[in-house]
Structure 1
Amino acid sequence: MTTPSSAATGVWSPRYVWVTAGAVAMVFLAAMQALAVTTVMPVVSAELDGAALYAISFSGTLATSVIGMVAVGAWSDRSGPVWPLTASVVLFVGGLVLAGFASDMGVLVVGRLVQGLGTGGQVVALYVVVARVYPSTLHGRVFAAFSAAWVVPSLVGPFLAGAVAEYLHWRWVFLGVAVLTIVAFVMVATRLWGTPLETEHPSTARIAPRLVCAVIVALGALALSLAGELDAFALPVAAASVIVIAFAVRPLLPRRTLHAGRGLPSVILMRGVIAGALFGAEIYVPYLLIDDYGFSPVWAGLGLTAAAVMWAAAADVQGRVGDRLGNTRITLIGASQLLAAMVIVGLSALLGFPAWVIIVGWAFAGSGMGLMYPRLTVLTLAYSTAQNQGFNSSALSISDSVGAATTIAAMGLAFTALTGTDAGFPAVFAIGALLAVLALVPGLRMGHAHEASPVR
C-alpha cells in the first residue's frame, strides 16, 4: 500500500481515510475511557464497597498493558498487525463489558486487568498498522492526529463522565465506550482485511521468554505501585521492585537502552524519561489546585486544559515541520519547556504564586510533550524494519508505561513522606524537573534514521 505515489496523498485522502478515521477514533475512545474512569471510580468504589481495591483498579490496568504490548509486538512481527489488532480490540471491549456489568469490585478489577491487556496490545498494533499502511512521509501527520485525539477527552472527558454517572449510570462509562470501539474498529478492519500487510521475512524470535519477562515487569510495577501502602516496608519493597523491573525489562527493549546507546536505544529511553516526568507530575496539578487553592474537582481539571490544547498544537507543528527542525532542536526546545513547567509549578507551590501562574506554567509541559512525544514514535518506526516493527513499537510503549509507573511511585513515596509539611508538592515537581534535565542525555544521542536528513 505504500507506493511512491502515495507519498503525495494526505492521511485523510480517499486511500487512507477509513484507516485514519478508525484509528484516530480508537485512540480517542481509549483516552476518553481513561479520563472518564478517573472521574467515576470514586462513585464505583462507593457503590461496590471496594475501597480496598481502588488503587489496583488503576495500577492493574497499567501492569497488564505491558503483557499486551509484548505479545502483540511479537505477534505482529510474525504475521502482520491485523489479527493482533483484532485480538486486542476483543480484549479491550471484553474488559469494558466485564467491568460495566460487574456486581462487585473484584469482578470490576478483573475487567480492568483484561482491559489492560487489550489497551497495551491495541497501541502497539496501531503503530504497526501505521508503519505498514502509510508511507514514511506521512508518519508524522498520523501521530500528530493521534496526539490531537487526546485533546477533546482532556477537555470534556471528566465533565461528560460525571454527567453520564449522574444522569444515566456509571456503567455506561464502560459499556458506551465498548460499543463505540467496535464501530471504530470496523472502520479500520474494512480497509485492512484482505490487504497484504505481512512481511516477506517474518521474525522468528522466540516469544515465550519475552512474555515471561513481561509478566515479571507487570508484577514488579504492581508491587511498586502498592509499596506506599506498606508503611515501614515501603522503601525496601519499592527498591526491590525497581531492581526486578530493571532486570526483567531489559530483554523487552533494544540492546543498550538502559545505557542510552546511540540511535534507537536512546529514542526508547527518552520516551520513558519524559513520560515519567509528565504523567507523574501531572496528577499533582489538580491536587495542588484543590488542596492549596480551594478549587473544586471540576474546575481543578481545567488546570490541565491549557496543557492539552498546547500538546495538540505542538504535535501539529511537529507533524508539519519536524523534519526541518531536526531531532536535536526538538529535544532542546521540548525538554526546556518541560523543565520550565516543572520549575514554575514547583515554585508556585513553594511560594504561593497565583493559580493562573500554575495553569499557564503547566501549558509549557503540554507544548514540550507535543513536540517530543510523536517525534519519538516517528523515529522508532524510522529505525525499524519489517521484521522488528512490532518489537520496537512494543518497546516504545513499554518504556512509556514502565517510566510512568516507576516515577508515579517515586513521587508518591516522596509526597507521602513529606505529608504535613509544605515540601510535598515542591518535591514532586523537583523530581519532574530532574527528569526533564536527564532527558537531554538520550535526547541528544538519538541521531537520525531515514525519517529525514539532519538539519544543519
Structure 2
Amino acid sequence: MTALDSSRRGTSTAGRSEPGGVLGREHRGLSVGIVSVVMLIAFEATAVGTAMPVAARELNGVPLYAFAFSAYFTTSLFAMVLSGQWSDRAGPLLPVTVGITAFGAGLLMSGTAGAMWLFILGRAVQGLGGGMVIVGLYVVVSRAYEERLRPAIMAAFAAGWVIPSVVGPLAAGTVTERLGWRWVFIGIPVLVVLPLALALPAIRRKASGPAGPGAPAVPFDGRRIRLALAISLGAGLLQYAGQDLRWLSLVPAVAGAALLVPAALGLLPRGTYRAARGLPSVVLLRGVAAGAFISAESFVPLMLVTERGVSPTLAGLSLAVGGATWALGSYLQSRPRTEPYRERLMVLGMLLVAAAIATAPSVLIPSVPVWIVGVAWGFGCLGMGMVIASTSVLLLKLSAPEEAGTNSAALQISDGLTNAVLLTAGGAAFAALGGGSVAGHTAQGGSHPVAFAAVFLPMAGVALVGAWVATRLRAGTGSR
C-alpha cells in the first residue's frame, strides 16, 4: 500500500452542484480533473497488485518479489519531499505534471521489462511519480479551495478509490489471464491522457505560481532534500534486511536505522514523536492510523485462507464491504454539522479501528463464523474513513499557504514510513512464531494461530495509542 493508499475509498458532498460547492461552476473543472488523477493512481494500485505475482514468475524474479513493492515506496518518500519543496516555491503545476508523466513512464518500463531488475526499476520510477503527484494535489487543494470546501474535496479524493477497488482486481485478473500481465502495465498509461487533459489546465488557472501576492518567497531547502535521500536509502536498507533474516542482515538494518531515524526527525514537524499538540499530533496520527490498519489488513486474507480454508477469492471479498463503510466515514467527516466535533469523531474512528483489528483474529477459534471478519472490517474502515480524510483537512487548516507542500510531504512520509515499519515488525513477529510455514497449510492441516495473534493484537494496541493522539489535535500553548 503506497502513500495515496492512506486517502482511498470514500464519498463526499462533492456530488452537490450548487454554486460555491466543489462541483459548482467555479470549481467543477478542477474537481473533476484532480479526482480523475486520484482514480488513475487508485486503479494502478489495485490492478497491478493482481498481475504482480504472474509478472514475477515469468521474469524468474520471485525471490525479488518484495522489492517490486519496496522500490515504489522508497523512491516515493524522496519524491514527496521534493514535490513539497517544488510546490511551495513555484506552485504545484509542474510537480503534478512531471509526477503523472513519470508514473506512466514507470508503468511502460515495467510492462516491457525483459528482466526482473528492469521491472523493479520501472516500479521505482512509478514511485517517484506517485509521490510527487499526491503532495502536489494537496497543495492544489490548499490554494484553490476555501477551508469550508476542503472536507468535501478530501472525501472526493477518497471516493476516487471506490470504483477502482472493485473493478481493478477483476479487470486486471481478466486481462492477465486472456492477454498476459504485460497488458495490465502497458494499458494503464493510456488512462493518463484523461487526467492530464482535465486537471492541468484547471491547475494552471487556479493554483499555479507562488503561494500568492504578498506571500514570502520560499527558498529551496537543500537540507530537506538530503534528508529525503537519507530516509529513502534508510528505508530501503531496512526493507532489504527484513527480506533476509540472517545475522549478516543486521549490518544493513543498523545502517538503515542510522540513516532513517535522524532523517525522519528532521523531516517531520518538531514534537511529532512525543505527540505535541496541534500539527505534530495530526502528522503522527496519520502514521499511527495507516500503519496499524494496513499492517493488520495485509494478514487478513492469509489468515482466512490458511487457518479457515477459505478460497482466495472469498478471502478478498470478505474485505469488500470496507469500501462502502470507508466511503461512509469520509462522508460523515465532510458534513458541516460534524465540523465542531471533528476531534471527537477521530477518537471514535480510532476506537473502531482498534476494535476491528482486535476482533479479526477471533476467527482463529473454529466455532467463530468467518463472516465476523467482514463485519469487523466494515466498522474498522468506517473509522479509517473518518480519520484519514480528517487528518488531511486539519493539516491544511494548520498550515500557512507557503508551508502547505512541506507539511503535506510530512503527512505522507508519516503515513508511508509508519506503515513500512509496522508491517516489517509484524512480519518479523509472524515469521518468528512459525508463520512462515503456514502457506502449505489449510484448516485441515497444521496451523499457527499464535503467529497471527502476534500481528493483530499489537496492532490493535497501536490503534488505541492513536485514539489518545486524537485527543491532542487542537493546537495550544506549548504545542511544539
TM-score (norm 2): 0.88
In structure 2, the partner of 1:306 is 321
Determine the structure 1 residue equivalent to 2:410: 395
Letter in structure 2 aligned against 1:208: G
Give the secondary structure class of the aligned counterpart of 1:354.
coil
Asked if residue 175 in structure 1 is aligned to residue 202 in structure 2, the reply is: no
Matches within 5 A, 1:25-104: 25-104=36-115
Whether 2:298 is the aligned partner of 1:287: answer no
Shift of 1:392: 0.6
**d(CA) in 1 for partners of 2:421 and 2:235?**
7
SS of residue paired to 1:231: coil
- In structure 1, the partner of 2:468 is 441
Q: Give the AA of the match of 2:421.
A: T
SS at match of 2:245: helix
Q: Taking structure 1 as reference, are residues 195 and 274 closer, same or farther at Cα in structure 2, changes over 3 Å only?
A: closer
Q: Deviations over 1:338-380 (max 9, x none)?
A: 0110111022235652110111111111000000100000000
User: Which residue does the alignment assign to 1:268?
Assistant: 283
Instruction: Write out per-residue CA displacement over residues 27-65 of structure 1, whole angstroms, 9 at most, x where no aligned residue.
Output: 112112112121111110111111122110001101110
Opposite residue 303 of structure 1, the aligned amino acid is S
Query: How far apart are residue 308 of structure 1 and its match?
Result: 1.7
- Count of equivalent residues: 444
Select the residue among 177, 190, 195 that pairs with 2:201: 190
Q: 1:237 to 1:346 in 2, by over 3 A?
A: farther
CA distance in 1, matches of 2:30, 2:188: 19
The one-letter code of the counterpart of 1:369 is M
Shift of 1:186: 1.5
Greater CA deviation, 326-335 or 344-353?
344-353
Determine the structure 1 residue equivalent to 2:165: 154
For residues 22-421 of structure 1, the aligned pairs below 5 Å read: 22-195=33-206, 197=208, 198-199=210-211, 200=213, 201-233=215-247, 238=253, 241-242=256-257, 244-321=259-336, 323-324=338-339, 326-349=341-364, 353-419=368-434, 421=448
For 2:269, the aligned partner's letter is P
Question: Secondary structure, in 3 states, of the residue corresponding to 2:273?
Answer: coil
Q: Deviations over 1:96-121 (max 9, x none)?
A: 11112112211111110010011011
Shift of 1:320: 1.2
Give the % identical residues: 38
**What is the CA distance between 1:304 and its match in structure 2?**
1.6
**Amino acid paired to 2:322:** A
Q: Which amino acid aligns with 1:422?
A: P
AA aligned to 2:303 is L
C-alpha distance in structure 2 between counterparts of 1:376 and 1:73, whole Å: 17
- Report deviation, 1:192: 2.3
| Structure 2 gaps, min length 5 | 1-16, 436-447
Distance 1:123 1:281, change over 3 A: same
Q: Is the 8 A contact 2:307 2:449 kept in 1?
A: no
Matching residue of 2:10? none
The alpha-carbon distance between structure 1 residues 189 and 432, as it changes in their structure 2 partners (threshold 3 A), is same
Could you give the per-residue CA deviations for residues 409-438 of structure 1, whole angstroms, max 9, x where no partner exists? 011101111125321111111121011111
Q: Judge conservation of contact 1:23–1:185 (CA < 8 Å) in 2.
A: no
Q: Structure 1: which 5+ runs fail to align? A: 1-5, 450-456
Residue of structure 2 equivalent to 1:422:
449
Partner of 1:453 in structure 2? none
Q: Does the aligned pair in 1 maintain the 2:228–2:263 contact within 8 Å?
A: yes
Write the distance in 2 (CA, Å) between the matches of 1:60 and 1:372.
Answer: 28
- Paired residues of 2:144 and 2:207 also in contact (CA < 8 A): no
Query: How far apart, in 2, do the equivalents of 1:213 and 1:351 lie?
Result: 49
Measured on the aligned residues, the alpha-carbon RMSD in Å equals 2.0
Residue pair 2:347, 2:468 contacting (<8 A) in 1 also: no
